[in-house]
Structure 1
């Protein structure tokens, strides 16, 4: 082919398309119905039934609404599972607004500290540009949730209910981002004018008061203490007054967050298996634990998740939810959408290539609440608790084929007791730092 597209080549393309009956059928279907509806394979629903040999029972489905808090919802849903069992409740929900408030507050401070740490970097350089791109978006990671819980605990939903803004965060985030970029400008220009780091940190305190004020106006003031009031399945009424977030978590969840570890599957050449990784400048609480992953073959992620569910515990996980999935029916299957047949072309990259070339990364966090095992104990499909309300899928639950798990699941979080001694010893390795823009630094939304 020549360097440029010629008119003769365009005429060849036109004739080839016009003479292909299948492509003209596809044209009529696609222009009338859109790509996905035209490419859905109806056989995917028959193959991916909502039946499982291991099936955990959860409370009512949750809804993150117009926000990117899936990572937070998924984590709190794993915790409320234990609260429901412990208190013998029909359902229960933890306050996602409570954790949102402190996440936004801490991310703002984390961002400003990163700005102070990069004062010598050029404003137009890749690092500062990366920091300024999204100072405090809704997305997050498991370790960031651990930091929030360790510092602030958790609260029942009625202790800090949703607001119009917590359920639709775009406007608040836009104005907070505007303010934080202005703060970054003030700090960097102050440094250029010769101000000391101590003086700049003094200015940062006033900046953080502004951020706190915005959060209170949008989300409400978080409670310093609250009362737990619930009624059990046996109609017993339980009341406990004057609980702090940390006291509530300690008594009613009782986890040691350090026992829960992140396993990832990133089969790229730059990330050898059986090594730990972290991501530079990714976090929310400056004094909190950094993000840390152990990279393992995909079958080991599956085995750990199955082992935890066999013990009756759900599993937090992260995946690329938009790939080969049908939102309305809640099906995640490699053959669910046959765009290859619709367009008459192949989409042939493997998992490593998709990561390297920006075609896939973790975009969403959910909870495994079950798995179907065949006669040999191998998984065939996975039960997924989503946080998009009860309309999509089967009353809010998705079904994931095992093949989809292999290709588009990137992270699971399990108690470390479900790992071998060798894997636990590998977790103790000092993590290899990845660049802030590495695909393993993506945040679940």
Structure 2
């Protein structure tokens, strides 16, 4: 084992080198007073990112996920509500994120119990077991997870299933569910190790699931079987559809076939033009599988442009923490000149950053526009779910260079793929291990 002990001589040499350059003291004062990002911020980068786009889908007010990790639900519901607004002339209509969130808590617990029972013969420190236990009560999710919930449970307007204090700030709920599900995992593993019968284990997990349902009910409210859909369109015409179920509501008012859509991924550390499957990411037993077709970024962008030209908005996964001005709503890979500030080399390729866990997707947003100047893409319009007090009334501007380096998945209709690309979707996928999370 290599052991490198720091000595006073090492510190003296570092201090001598630091003191030798007078600009270090100037930068020290600036960084200490203003912080790293404010000192490193390139205002010329900010100036070139205006909110004008050559291709733009007309959308309404943004939603606000507040202190929750439900962006993946918000983004899919944004896509649906944009289609509804165009079809029924109701621009600021909103669908209930809480409704799907309730069912996700129950479904995610159900599939978690199956995984714990299936891996009970593995040691506690097995990598797969540890991955399942890492965050069983988490909020985050994927496109396929949201689709699975919509296809099974339908959707509801916010008026029929509003937000609660807990859905707007899910910290406490995550703590409760993490503790409960981990304790349940111990109980189930102990029962398997004690050779309890399948019937006994089934009865125990059913009791556990009823408890999760109760927790979700207290936190979110229990979804009603039916509701009255009542609204005025933008021309002030009154509409009402009484006693409709969420599934009937989706089937009747939304013509989007979610099975027509596929996930394009851009992971340079993986094989290109290859379908990948991540079954450990699924949240609904019997639901849609988490998968993606890994392609070059220019393929992903071309599909995005064609979608926007046809008025279709798109869900996409990204690392919103990277080179991001949250308040200003600016995403540009040259926004903060940290390498110049510290006089160090911070360059890594997208693939290298993925391999070394430096850059992973942590957010989902909605693509609503693009600016193409002289045949070249310069920037994209992004609908976020952080409310109207950030960005341009909640909309972000994303430089094309930021998309290259920090966007990992985009959802597009299969009709925007070439025949060769469509054929790849029917090929045998490479199955990712659980910890090879997207």
Q: How does 1:171-186 map to 2 (within 5 A)?
A: 171-186=172-187
Is 1:375 matched up with 2:352? no
Contiguous gaps of at least 5 residues in structure 1:
none
Equivalent position to 1:388, from 386, 389, 408: 386
Shift of 1:198: 3.1
Secondary structure of the 1:82 match is helix
**Match in the other structure for 1:191:** 192
**Match in the other structure for 1:360:** 359
Tell me, in whole angstroms, the C-alpha distance in 1 between the residues paired with 2:288 and 2:276. 13
Alignment: residue pair count: 437
Shift of 1:90: 3.2
Deviations 1:349-402 (A, max 9, x none): 1000000001001111000110001122x2110000000011111111111111
Give the TM-score, by structure 2 length.
0.98
**Match in the other structure for 2:86:** 85
Deviations 1:126-149 (A, max 9, x none): 111111111131000000011001
Shift of 1:204: 0.6
Deviations 1:135-181 (A, max 9, x none): 13100000001100110010000100000001011111211111111
Q: Which moved more, 1:365-374 or 1:27-36?
A: 27-36
Alignment check: 8 A CA contact 1:23 1:343 kept: no
Tell me, in whole angstroms, the C-alpha distance in 2 between the residues paired with 1:193 and 1:19. 68
Q: How does 1:193-272 map to 2 (within 5 A)?
A: 193-268=194-269, 271-272=270-271
Tell me, in whole angstroms, the C-alpha distance in 1 between the residues paired with 2:74 and 2:3. 53
- Measured on the aligned residues, the alpha-carbon RMSD in Å equals 1.3
Tell me, in whole angstroms, the C-alpha distance in 1 between the residues paired with 2:167 and 2:333. 34
**Match in the other structure for 1:314:** 313
Shift of 1:2: 9.4
Equivalent position to 1:411, from 404, 409, 412: 409
Tell me, in whole angstroms, the C-alpha distance in 2 between the residues paired with 1:105 and 1:328. 34
Shift of 1:246: 1.2
Tell me, in whole angstroms, the C-alpha distance in 2 between the residues paired with 1:306 and 1:20. 49
Structure 1 residue runs of 4+, over 4 Å off? Answer: none
Contiguous gaps of at least 5 residues in structure 2:
none
Secondary structure of the 1:399 match is strand
Q: How does 1:21-420 map to 2 (within 5 A)?
A: 21-268=22-269, 271-376=270-375, 378-420=376-418
Deviations 1:221-247 (A, max 9, x none): 111111111111111001111111111
Alignment check: 8 A CA contact 2:137 2:175 kept: no
**Match in the other structure for 2:429:** 431
Alignment check: 8 A CA contact 1:44 1:331 kept: no
